[in-house]
C-alpha cells in the first residue's frame, strides 16, 4: 500500500475519532437540558387554581428553595405525593390533582430545581434529597408513612421509585416509567458508552427491588418516548402492569381503564 494512501487513511481515522469524541462530549453536555427542559414561573405569578390549595416553599439544606402546591380534599383518605414529568410544572397540577381530590385524597406536588419557582442546581442527588424534603413535610403535617401514596410520571417515576425504596409508603404508582436512563437511551445511541457519558442514571430497575409496598404500573403500548419494554422490565421484577392499547406517552387519563385501575389499586391498599 503506497505511503501516501496510508497517511490518508490515518487522517481519516483520526478525523472520525475526533468526530466521535466530539459527539460524545456534546451528548454529555446537553443531557441535563434534554432530560429536564425546565419551564419557569415568575415568583410573583399566582397559580390561579380554583381547587382549595396552599402554595409551599421549602428550603433545602444547601439553601435552595423548592416550590410546591398542596391540594386538600374533604375526605382525606390519604395523600398522594406526586413527581411530575419533565415538561410539566406546578401550573399543570390542578389538572393532575383534581381526580385524586375528588376521590378523597389530598395531593402534594413539587417543582424540581430550575422548574417553576424552584431554585438551586439540578443533580440526581439533589432530586432524591428534595423528594425526601417533601416526604418529611407530609410527615410534619401529621401524615403517617402508611397514609402516603407515591406517584411518579415519566421522568418523575425514577424519583418516585427511589423514594419508595427508602421509605414505607402505602403504595407506589408509576405512569409511563423507564427501567433506567441508560436503558432508555442505549438503543438510540448504541455506538456510544452511555453509562460513561450520563450524569443521571435514575435506576428504577435497581431501586424497585427494595420497594416493600404494592406497585401499579400504567403504560401505553404506543409510547414513542419510553417504550413499553421499559415498563415490562420493571414489572418482571415487581409490580402489576396495566397496558393501554393505543396509548401513547401521555393522555392515558382519557382511557376509562386508567381510573378504573387506580381506583381498584387504592381499594386494595386501603388500611
Q: Are 209 and 183 in contact (CB under 8 A)?
A: no
Cβ-count burial of 9 within 10 angstroms (0-12 exposed, 13-18 middle, 19+ buried)? exposed
- Same-domain status, 93 and 129: yes
- Same-domain status, 86 and 210: yes
Is it the case that residue 17 has pLDDT exceeding 90?
Answer: no
Is it the case that residue 28 has pLDDT exceeding 90?
Answer: no
- Same-domain status, 10 and 129: no
Is it the case that residue 23 has pLDDT exceeding 70?
Answer: no
| CATH number of the domain encompassing residue 112 | 3.40.50.1820
- Same-domain status, 163 and 29: no
SS3 195: helix
Nearest CA-CA partner of 202 in 169, 250, 156: 156
DSSP string, 138-178: HHHTT--GGGEEEEEETTHHHHHHHHHHHS--SEEEEES--
pLDDT, tens only, 137-184: 999 999 999 999 999 999 999 999 999 999 999 999 999 999 998 887
Is it the case that residue 115 has pLDDT exceeding 80?
Answer: yes
Q: How many domains does the chain have?
A: 2
- Same-domain status, 99 and 31: no
- Same-domain status, 172 and 212: yes
Q: Are 177 and 152 in contact (CB under 8 A)?
A: yes
Residue-level pLDDT at 4: 59
User: In this predicted model, which residue has the larger pLDDT, 78 or 188?
Assistant: 78
User: pTM above the 0.85 mark?
Assistant: yes
- Same-domain status, 28 and 113: no
Per-residue pLDDT band for 15 (boundaries 50, 70, 90) equals very low
- Same-domain status, 203 and 145: yes
> Tell me, what DSSP letter sits at residue 111?
P
Q: Are 110 and 134 in contact (CB under 8 A)?
A: yes
Q: Which residues have CB under 8 Å from 246's CB, separation 6+?
A: 220, 221, 222
- Same-domain status, 112 and 219: yes
What residues make up the domain containing 213?
39-269
Cell of 145: 408513612
Instruction: Round to whole Å and give the CA distance between 244 and 89.
Output: 25
Per 3-state DSSP, what percentage of the chain is helix, strand, and coil (rounded to 5)? 45, 20, 35
Residue-level pLDDT at 185: 73
- Same-domain status, 76 and 121: yes
Is it the case that residue 77 has pLDDT exceeding 60?
Answer: yes
- Same-domain status, 52 and 96: yes
- Same-domain status, 62 and 123: yes
Amino acid at each position: 500500500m503506497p505511503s501516501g494512501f496510508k497517511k490518508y487513511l490515518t487522517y481519516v481515522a483520526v478525523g472520525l475519532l475526533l468526530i466521535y469524541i466530539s459527539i460524545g462530549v456534546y451528548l454529555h453536555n446537553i443531557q441535563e437540558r434534554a432530560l429536564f427542559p425546565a419551564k419557569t414561573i415568575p415568583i410573583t405569578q399566582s397559580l390561579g387554581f380554583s381547587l382549595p390549595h396552599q402554595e409551599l416553599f421549602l428550603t433545602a439544606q444547601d439553601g435552595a428553595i423548592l416550590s410546591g402546591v398542596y391540594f386538600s380534599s374533604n375526605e382525606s383518605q390519604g395523600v398522594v405525593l406526586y413527581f411530575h414529568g419533565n415538561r410539566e410544572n406546578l401550573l399543570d397540577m390542578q389538572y393532575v390533582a383534581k381526580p385524586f381530590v375528588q376521590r378523597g385524597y389530598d395531593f402534594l406536588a413539587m417543582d424540581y430545581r430550575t422548574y417553576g419557582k424552584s431554585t438551586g442546581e439540578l443533580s440526581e442527588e439533589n432530586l432524591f434529597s428534595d423528594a425526601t424534603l417533601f416526604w418529611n413535610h407530609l410527615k410534619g403535617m401529621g401524615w403517617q408513612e402508611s397514609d402516603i401514596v407515591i406517584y411518579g410520571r415519566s421522568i418523575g417515576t425514577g424519583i418516585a421509585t427511589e423514594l419508595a425504596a427508602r421509605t414505607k409508603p402505602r403504595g407506589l404508582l408509576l405512569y409511563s416509567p423507564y427501567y433506567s436512563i441508560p436503558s432508555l437511551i442505549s438503543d438510540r445511541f448504541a455506538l456510544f458508552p452511555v453509562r460513561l457519558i450520563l450524569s443521571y442514571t435514575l435506576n428504577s430497575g435497581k431501586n424497585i427491588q427494595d420497594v416493600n409496598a404494592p406497585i401499579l404500573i400504567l403504560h401505553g403500548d404506543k409510547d414513542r418516548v419510553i417504550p413499553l419494554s421499559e415498563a415490562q422490565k420493571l414489572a418482571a421484577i415487581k409490580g402489576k402492569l396495566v397496558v393501554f392499547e393505543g396509548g401513547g406517552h401521555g393522555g392515558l387519563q382519557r382511557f376509562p381503564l386508567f381510573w378504573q385501575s387506580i381506583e381498584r389499586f387504592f381499594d386494595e391498599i386501603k388500611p
